[in-house]
């Protein structure tokens, strides 16, 4: 059994935040019908590092977020397209869109309209700034939200700042927030029979991820310090040089710090007044780091990782992305599943990373080609072959 088996989701989303949300619904067993414009579909179909796939409208960005989904094309600007969509809404449990707040209302397909067709409908709108407020109608991409949220300002160090995260963190967490909200609304509906409207903003979504930093500012009055790869909560906690590269060490507890001093054979540092207590070590981290690196640079990273882990000190190598996705633990956890895509071949795509004992989720079907399931979906709501032919000739599908 799949967790969301029997749930139908109409997915009007594009690029990342919305597709990432609906990917999680699809991986947990929902029937996710991706409704795309007939000309070229989701913009992500053209985004990626392989031009050949972009030309096929199967860009790597699209492939990463759309496994287990169906695709139908539908021109929502045409009256016939609106009517088809309303017929689909009558059969659906969830609608997800990530347009600007005024788009669906201008199309005549707002939640207020759709909920009269299907009062049990869970409608999730994802946008940069939310549906209301002074910035609601402003355009937004992930990098804009990274800048406005303060996330870029707390990254880097005095040499490199501001600094964006190396992946679209605001889009991604916005998608996770939306998936969590949709699941919660479905649970509420199960108890009450009521659907509802969900308003998810990327700007809102990223704020709680900076919880400790924000708490230090809003509760403790402490401005964030640009510390690069150091961890502001403890010392030694951060990145250190070794003989052949770098190591991450997170000695956040007193006993872990003492174990570091023992493993590195510098026991005298444990009683040094500059480093004896946690707050003193944090204050004097610039003096502590070179003393530790003098020892760490005598041996390879792998040696220190093993030695420190044996003493229950969290530590690890710093892997490049290729090594990271191919490490043994990732393979063991089945973080990726393999699917075959015609014209592309076998690809590894994300599985559901939460491991359910009774209702596991997995990649079972490849991302769909544009409009691959249009006929199937239309026939499912009673459209005849002549009707489908007429819709195609009128470029509605």
- Max Cα separation, the chain? 86
| CB-based contacts of 304, cutoff 8 Å, min separation 6 | 242, 247, 263, 296, 315
Residue 226 has pLDDT above 90, yes or no: no
Token duo for residue 315: 């530590």
Instruction: Provide mean pLDDT across the span 325-339.
Output: 95
316, 271 contact by CB (below 8 A): no
pLDDT of residue 67: 97
Provide the pLDDT confidence category of residue 232 given band limits of 50, 70 and 90.
confident
| CB-based contacts of 180, cutoff 8 Å, min separation 6 | none
Residue 385 has pLDDT above 90, yes or no: yes
| CB-based contacts of 28, cutoff 8 Å, min separation 6 | 2, 3, 4, 352, 359, 361
Residue 192 has pLDDT above 90, yes or no: yes
* Catalytic sites, residue numbers: 171
pLDDT of residue 233: 86
- Which one is predicted more confidently, 225 or 255? 255
Provide the pLDDT confidence category of residue 135 given band limits of 50, 70 and 90.
very high
Q: What is the pLDDT of residues 273-302, one digit of tens each?
A: 999 999 999 999 999 999 999 999 999 999
Separation CA 17–CA 13 (nearest Å):
8
Which one, of 389, 375, 380, 367, lies nearest residue 42 by Cα?
367
Residue 395 has pLDDT above 90, yes or no: yes
pLDDT of residue 16: 96
E strands, 196-259, in order = 196-201, 237-241, 246-250
Provide the pLDDT confidence category of residue 158 given band limits of 50, 70 and 90.
confident
Instruction: Provide mean pLDDT across the span 12-18.
Output: 97
pLDDT of residue 195: 98
pLDDT of residue 288: 97
Residue 11 has pLDDT above 90, yes or no: yes
Separation CA 159–CA 167 (nearest Å):
21
132, 100 contact by CB (below 8 A): no
Q: What is the chain's mean pLDDT, rounded?
A: 96
Domains and CATH numbers, the chain: 8-208+331-393 (3.40.50.10540), 246-317 (3.30.1540.10)
- The structure's pTM equals 0.93
Separation CA 257–CA 21 (nearest Å):
40
Question: Of 29-33, 155-159, 167-171, 329-333, which gets the smallest average pLDDT?
Answer: 155-159
Instruction: Provide mean pLDDT across the span 82-90.
Output: 98
Separation CA 312–CA 49 (nearest Å):
41
Which one, of 138, 128, 129, 182, lies nearest residue 11 by Cα?
182
Separation CA 357–CA 171 (nearest Å):
29
Residue 227 has pLDDT above 90, yes or no: no
Which one, of 76, 13, 74, 77, lies nearest residue 45 by Cα?
13
pLDDT of residue 225: 86
At how many degrees (to 10) do helices 254-263 and 301-310 cross? 130
Which one, of 303, 235, 226, lies nearest residue 269 by Cα?
235
198, 124 contact by CB (below 8 A): yes
């Amino acid at each position: 059994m799949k967790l969301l088996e029997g749930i139908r989701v109409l997915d009007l989303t594009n690029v990342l935040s919305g597709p990432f949300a609906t990917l999680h619904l699809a991986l947990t067993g929902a029937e996710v019908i991706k409704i795309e414009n007939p000309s070229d579909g989701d913009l992500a179909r053209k985004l990626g590092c392989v031009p050949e796939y972009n030309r096929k409208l199967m860009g790597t960005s699209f492939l990463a977020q759309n496994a287990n989904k169906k695709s139908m094309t539908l021109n929502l600007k045409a009256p016939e397209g609106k009517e088809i969509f309303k017929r689909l809404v009558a059969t659906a449990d969830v609608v997800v869109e990530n347009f600007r707040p005024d788009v669906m209302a201008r199309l005549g397909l707002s939640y207020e309209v759709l909920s009269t067709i299907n009062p049990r409908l869970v409608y999730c709108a994802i946008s940069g700034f939310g549906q209301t407020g002074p910035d609601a109608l402003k355009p937004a991409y992930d990098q804009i939200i990274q800048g406005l949220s303060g996330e870029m300002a707390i990254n880097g160090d005095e040499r490199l700042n501001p600094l964006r995260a190396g992946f679209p963190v605001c889009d991604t967490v916005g998608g996770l927030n939306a998936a969590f909200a949709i699941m919660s609304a479905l649970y509420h509906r199960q108890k009450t029979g009521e659907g509802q409207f969900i308003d998810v903003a990327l700007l809102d979504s990223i704020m709680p991820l900076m919880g400790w930093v924000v708490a230090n500012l809003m509760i403790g009055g402490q401005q964030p310090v640009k510390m690069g790869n150091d961890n502001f909560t403890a010392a030694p906690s951060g990145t250190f040089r070794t003989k052949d590269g770098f190591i991450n060490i997170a000695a956040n507890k007193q006993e872990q710090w003492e174990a570091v001093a023992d493993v590195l054979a510098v026991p005298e540092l444990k009683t040094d007044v500059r480093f004896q207590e946690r707050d003193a070590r944090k204050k004097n981290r610039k003096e502590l780091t070179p003393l530790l690196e003098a020892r760490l640079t005598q041996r390879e990273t792998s040696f220190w990782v093993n030695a420190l882990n044996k003493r229950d000190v969290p530590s690890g190598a710093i892997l490049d992305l290729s090594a990271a996705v191919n490490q043994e633990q990732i393979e063991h956890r089945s973080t990726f599943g393999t699917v075959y895509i015609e014209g592309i071949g076998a690809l590894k795509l994300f599985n559901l990373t939460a491991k359910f004992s009774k209702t596991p989720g997995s990649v079972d079907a490849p991302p769909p080609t544009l409009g691959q399931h249009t006929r199937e979906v239309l026939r499912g709501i009673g459209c005849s072959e002549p009707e489908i032919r007429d819709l195609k000739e009128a470029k509605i599908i």
